[in-house]
Structure 1
């Protein structure tokens, strides 16, 4: 690899797989890599993420007596943290396969997962504070009481953004995977790594069904979450089918011309 600047540096994470370069990472990965003087192992970073959010949920539940909301909050924190785990596992499997640069740029460097996350979050906030208050049992009231405390509301929105970002990432990973499988041929070894990445995407989509019990009285959100999971499962499954059907017998990659 040419270049000697920090933006060109490649770091080995101890698994034998080169670490990501800037511009070829999830935004989640770039944030940690861009912090000067910060070199936190993945497991420690994930533990910190879960512990800080969960501590906030429990402390605020104790202070304001929001224990019903604490259960939903804990599940949401678990889903968000699991999303971080899956993002790291997906990226590791993809990079191990050494796929075409165009696919890596599309998946990691486009930041489209952030756009999808923002769209999902804005739609959720619009529902929670405009449409849902007209219902008999608003979700915000169920979780935070009739007069939501400022700190609890802030933490709730922060956790919900984290969940929405992971949802956007899962959707983009599945769409990019289908494009990759339809556009390129891979060796059996590459296919195995990319298939594992797709299975991680599928698994995280199914994990989001843990949110369903808290949405049973909120039909629009229920349909949105279940519909999202079904869409990710369908697109990712199709990607896997196409990926295996187009696997090459040799180690090359063939870029199919349009």
Structure 2
């Protein structure tokens, strides 16, 4: 995570890069992220006897870690390419991905704690028990935020990819760079389908996840065809 230009970096990169003494290779940072979250999942499962929730939690941790990998890869790839400053500023400097993540997270919480119990599904208690323990709930909400933030990143990367294609005439080298970036964004979108089997008791969440992935792929597909 070295040499981050804070005017051209994701919020995630800026926060991690600003921590004193933190200067490790991306692979190490990602491994530490996965190990810390998965270790906490397994520890709480053992203490609270919530082993049935481990597969869902692990899937969410995998998606969150893959999202971090996407952000680091896109950051490196797009900053190295000869791209218009207006584009890189909008992608990295606007922090819109954080806003989208917050909206996704608040929507998820509203569904889980207001709509879902009223419909009789209660996905939270299905996964975390009744009543859910405070430590397990804290970790679940933290992981959910991590996933929602990465979903915001995927959306913003896709929307700005379409805008970039319509607004700028790039040279061949830059086109190859952004095409590779868009493929990785699409792959991350597809990876999010890993969450679907664990939210099947809540049909609206299934529709939301699948619909989100289809929308991201559609936007990237249009960007690719126009490019």
Give your verdict on TM over 0.5.
Answer: yes
The aligned residue for residue 171 of structure 1 is 155
- 2:105 is matched with which residue: 121, 143, 153? 121
Per-residue deviation, residues 187-224 of structure 1 (Å, max 9, x unmatched): 11111111000111111001000000012221111111
Aligned-partner SS, 1:119: helix
**8 A Cα contact 1:97 1:191, kept in partner:** no
Higher-Rg structure is: 1
Aligned-partner SS, 1:20: coil
In 2: Cα distance, 1:242 partner to 1:181 partner: 7
Aligned pairs (5 A) from 1:1-258:
19-243=3-227
Shift of 1:137: 3.0
Aligned-partner SS, 2:131: coil
**8 A Cα contact 2:4 2:17, kept in partner:** no
Paired positions, count: 227
In 2: Cα distance, 1:208 partner to 1:228 partner: 9
In 2: Cα distance, 1:30 partner to 1:160 partner: 21
In 2: Cα distance, 1:132 partner to 1:118 partner: 20
Gaps of 5+ in 1: 1-10, 14-18, 244-258
Shift of 1:75: 0.5
In 2: Cα distance, 1:140 partner to 1:237 partner: 35
Shift of 1:93: 1.9
TM norm structure 1: 0.86
- Higher percent of residues as helix: 2
In 2: Cα distance, 1:91 partner to 1:197 partner: 9
In 1: Cα distance, 2:190 partner to 2:222 partner: 16
**8 A Cα contact 1:25 1:109, kept in partner:** yes
Gaps of 5+ in 2: none
